[in-house]
Structure 1
Amino acid sequence: MTGYADDLALAHLLADAADAVSTARFRALDLRVEAKPDLTPVSDADTAVEREIRALLAEHRPADGLLGEEYGEAPASGPGGRRWVVDPIDGTKNFIRGVPVWATLIALLEGDHPVAGLVSAPALGRRWWAARGGGAYAGPDAAGGTPIRVSGVTELADASFCYSSLDGWIATGRLDGMLGIMRDSWRSRAYGDFYGYMLLAEGALDVMVEPELSLWDIAALVPIVTEAGGTFTDLAGAPAPAGDMGTENSAVASNGPLHADILARLGRPAEH
């Protein structure tokens, strides 16, 4: 294991606590759901999970910074620019409808660079985790993890392509490129949120793309995909994510051999 072994162990501890809170509220008849200012939904499970993680980080890593989707940013008080980035429930719309594809995302950044990430999907009975230089793993828990690796597919005609909903691609002027990829790939499906990236890291699909994400949506995913041998950039081909809380990110994640073709097809908006 790498020099981030203690951090990954803490991430598993945070995930254990998060899972206990979220699974208790999943499909609860008294689940409370409100609309945030951006009109996206937030449940009482989202806020409860983030509060639990914040309390544990205050106990175990009081000098580290923390950015959470629901309660914002607490700057680091120690050296090194370390901060945790947390999405308490990625896939809230699935969560509130009783769809089991949702997860808690936990990342550790040094400066703007994600160096460790963990994704815990308790309703699926599965976790994925990685740290810089240590490979990527998946399993039911830390003790049951096995190495994962991206696929070796080299041609789009043989590839399984995953994407977010089409609305964002329409808004960015890249719908034509998206439809072209969907026509030319072997299979296309929208599995949603974190899940496409994790299936990519496991080699079950070959490309995952999204046009608009926040830092907490993406930070934990990057180490897992890249340590599994994949490539992760934004639509311009720059390393993702951008580290600023207010910066909108885009994501092109692939097994590597397909990356240049996908970027060429999606990199420029259509001219009208």
Structure 2
Amino acid sequence: MRSTTASPALPVDLGEARRVAVDAAEAAGALLRAGTGGPLVARPKGGNGDVVTELDTAAEELILGRLRAAYPGHRIIAEESGVLDGADGSHLVWLVDPLDGTNNVAIGMPVYAVGLALCAGSVPVLGVVHDPVSGRTWTAVRGEGALDPDGAPLTLAPRPRPGRERNPVLGWTQGHAVKAGDPSALALRTALELRCSRLLQLWAPLVAWAMLARGDIDGIVGYRPELVDLPPGALLAAEAGAELRRLDGGPYELSIDRTPSELGFVAARPELLARLVETANRALDTAGPDGQIPLVR
């Protein structure tokens, strides 16, 4: 749910920072939307099946240019460029995911997003998620709520659907470093599939986070998720009213100084959270070496 702690006093106007971030994300989105209509060459990125295209780098360069022009002192952590120090060693840090869903774009599937987050030290205080396909943008400021594309308050309101309470629709995300045979990941996915009507593996977590914030889906579970695309979406969903917990059910602290193993989460509309946490706990507690688990209803 919305953080009860407002953003700390910062040497930056968060309203202006939101405007800069939205403009940058939407400009990058226009570039991506135009580029996905033509030939695209995907290159391997690392050894975990991830890919990168010229659209990733072009969109990132555009965003970095906008951020550097507005905030030359801020540090930046970008998906393709890595860590870029600011001019004055500021404790303010931007996270930039210029194209969340590159694997989708590479196969011609129009499911992708642009994400930016501003952090005060390790704590995200501003999140922006832009969907280039629809041209819509959602934003959130820590402790101040989330806004929809029209600038109106965004509150998680589940979309009516028969049987939704018994059979929710869930999202799943895992980091690129998670191996195909990881027993915990397999156990979690299997348990979730047994207790929902559909488990979405979109390859674009920011899209799933926006869907949760809007109430289109009921929850998301993340196992060793990627860092750069987590804060913008998680902050958006939390400020819209979603609840987040660790996989073991403990309080979830959204912070960029955590390791992948510490970033695992369960996020859901409040009335579903306990059920998902129970499912995750049972799956992880009972998973064998092959990830098989008993059916729990």
The alignment's TM-score, normalised by the length of structure 2, stands at: 0.79
Q: Deviations over 1:40-74 (max 9, x none)?
A: 11000001111111111111001111000101001
Q: Find the aligned partners of 2:63 and 2:280 in 1 and give their Cα distance.
A: 37
Q: Find the aligned partners of 1:163 and 1:12 in 2 and give their Cα distance.
A: 26
Structure 1 residue 79: Cα displacement: 6.3
Q: Find the aligned partners of 2:158 and 2:108 in 1 and give their Cα distance.
A: 34
Q: Relative contact order (C-alpha < 8 Å, sep 6+): which is higher? A: 2
Q: Which among 122, 137, 155 is matched to residue 149 of structure 1?
A: 155
1:70 is aligned to 80
1:20 aligns with 2:66: no
2:201 is aligned to 190
Unaligned stretches of 5+ residues in structure 1: none
Structure 1 pair 44–262 and aligned structure 2 pair: CA distance change class (3 A): same
Q: Find the aligned partners of 2:72 and 2:114 in 1 and give their Cα distance.
A: 21
Structure 1 pair 189–215 and aligned structure 2 pair: CA distance change class (3 A): closer
1:204 aligns with 2:210: no
Indicate conservation of the 8 Å contact 1:160/1:188, yes or no: yes
Partner of 2:139, secondary structure, is strand
1:104 is aligned to 114
State how 1:252-271 maps to structure 2 within 5 Å: 252-267=266-281, 268-269=284-285, 270-271=287-288
With 168-177 and 33-42 compared, the bigger mean Cα shift is at: 168-177
1:88 is aligned to 98
Q: Find the aligned partners of 1:95 and 1:68 in 2 and give their Cα distance.
A: 19
Indicate conservation of the 8 Å contact 1:161/1:205, yes or no: yes
Across the aligned residues of Structure 1 and Structure 2, the Cα RMSD in angstroms comes to 2.7
Structure 1 pair 66–172 and aligned structure 2 pair: CA distance change class (3 A): farther
2:256 is aligned to 243
1:171 is aligned to 182
Unaligned stretches of 5+ residues in structure 2: 1-6, 8-12, 290-297
Structure 1 pair 75–256 and aligned structure 2 pair: CA distance change class (3 A): farther
Q: Find the aligned partners of 2:87 and 2:245 in 1 and give their Cα distance.
A: 30
Q: Deviations over 1:163-201 (max 9, x none)?
A: 248x86851425344333322335443344222211110
2:236 is aligned to 224
1:118 is aligned to 128
Letter in 1 for 2:189: M
Structure 1 residue 240: Cα displacement: 4.7
Letter in 2 for 1:57: L
1:32 is aligned to 41
1:161 is aligned to 170
* Identical-residue share of aligned pairs (%): 26
Q: Deviations over 1:90-111 (max 9, x none)?
A: 0001112221110111111111
1:55 is aligned to 65
1:213 aligns with 2:225: yes
Partner of 2:264, secondary structure, is strand
Structure 1 pair 229–170 and aligned structure 2 pair: CA distance change class (3 A): farther
With 232-241 and 249-258 compared, the bigger mean Cα shift is at: 232-241
The alignment's TM-score, normalised by the length of structure 1, stands at: 0.86
Indicate conservation of the 8 Å contact 2:115/2:128, yes or no: yes
Indicate conservation of the 8 Å contact 1:156/1:184, yes or no: no
Structure 1 residue 34: Cα displacement: 1.1
Q: Find the aligned partners of 2:196 and 2:128 in 1 and give their Cα distance.
A: 29
